[in-house]
Every structure is written in C-alpha cells, then in structure tokens.
Amino acid sequence: MVLFSGGQDSTTCLAWALDRFAAVETVAFDYGQRHRVELACRERVRAELVRRFPGWAARLGEDHLLDLGVLGRISDTALTREAAIALGENGLPTTFVPGRNLVFLAFAAALAYRRDARHLVAGMCETDFSGYPDCRDDTMKAMQVALNLGMERRFVVETPLMWLDKAETWELAERLGGADLVELVRTETHSCYLGERGQLHEWGHGCGACPACELRAKGWRRYRAAAAP
C-alpha cells in the first residue's frame, strides 16, 4: 500500500514498490490542503506509469482516496489556510500540519488490514526535509511498532527515501525506470506548496520560490550536474 499524493517523492516510492512487489495499491488523503493540484495529478501519473511501463501495469491495483477533511478543519497551517510560509515561534515551518503523517499511516494501515497488504510505503525523508518531526526515522519506527501492537499485524513501514537527498531521489527514479520515469516525474508530478501548475521549469511545475520548489530545483541541478560528462 503506497501513500501516493501525486508528488515527486511519492511517485518515486510508487515506482520503487512496483519494482519489488507483485501487487501494489495506492492511497491518498483529501485533508483540505491548499495544494490540491497534487490530487489532480495522481490519476495522470498512474495512467502514464501503466502506459510507459507495461511490466509494472499488471502489478498496479486499486487506488483509494480517503476523506480526512477534519484534519484540515482543525489545523491552522500554511498548507490548510491562506497563510504565509515562514518559521513559526516553535521553530517549525508553518507548513507543518500536526499529526498529518501519523493520521495518514493509521488510516493507510486500517485500509491495508482490510486489503491484506503488509507493506506501507511512504516518502518521508530526514535528509532533505523541512524539519517536520513526523518525517523522522524514529517516528516511522515508532509508528510501525504502534500499528503492529494495535492491529495485531506485522506491518512493515517502508521509507525508501529516508536517507536520500533530492538529487539522489532523482537518481533513484532513473535507476528504476530510466529517462522515461525521470521525465514523467519532471512533467506530471507536483510538489509546490502553493499549488502553482502553470510554467514548466527544467525541474518541473511549481512557483519556484516555496521551500518544496527550492528543494526540488536544487536537487535537479545537482542530479544533472552529476550526470554531465
């Protein structure tokens, strides 16, 4: 079960899962986020994966979209409100949605329980990240223990990007699916916090100024520089 938002990281994780497992399903969450354009990208990315990678097509199963609007309603963040992206008084960016990844994993596990899936694949990363405490490796390990105890299952929380920076994430996409997957990630996925979809930059769509765009663009430049002869 891949937590699949339609962004760069979750698309790379989906390819990683399709390369390893015989049956893969995807799940996303509508929590009232400002950048809902990611949700719109999901269907196109899934369709392009099927079209461009026939070896993976038979492995890609159902997609699930869960309504978690209550999370957005109780949150006061730059991802769920019209608010500036900045560092808050607590030292965390205003894009941090408290409890988001914990809630996501709990619901993904509940769905996986019903679908008889054991592996929960998610794009959390502690290398190039915005300081979110719910992206840390310790948090993921603790959630795995809690889910297994609370549901009496042996779930494995897989985080293939945990120790990769954004340049290495681009490199992983290339290893998994070659230039075709890199181009799919570049042109079809979306990670911009502001939901700007207009211009296609060399690294993909986005405003080019928010932290998510800056990380993606910086990683792209390092990736391309390393690939240059």
Q: How many other CB atoms sit within 10 Å of the CB of residue 195?
A: 18
pLDDT (tens digit, 9 = 90+) per residue, 154-188? Answer: 999 999 999 999 999 999 999 999 999 999 999 99
- Alpha-carbon distance values, 59 to 49, 158, 161 (Å): 11, 18, 21
pLDDT (tens digit, 9 = 90+) per residue, 91-108? Answer: 655 555 677 899 999 999
Q: What is the largest CA-CA distance in the chain?
A: 52
> Does 222 score more than 60 pLDDT?
yes
pLDDT (tens digit, 9 = 90+) per residue, 4-57? Answer: 999 999 999 999 999 999 999 999 998 877 677 888 899 999 999 999 999 999
Could you tell me the fold of the domain covering 2-227?
A: Rossmann fold (3.40.50)
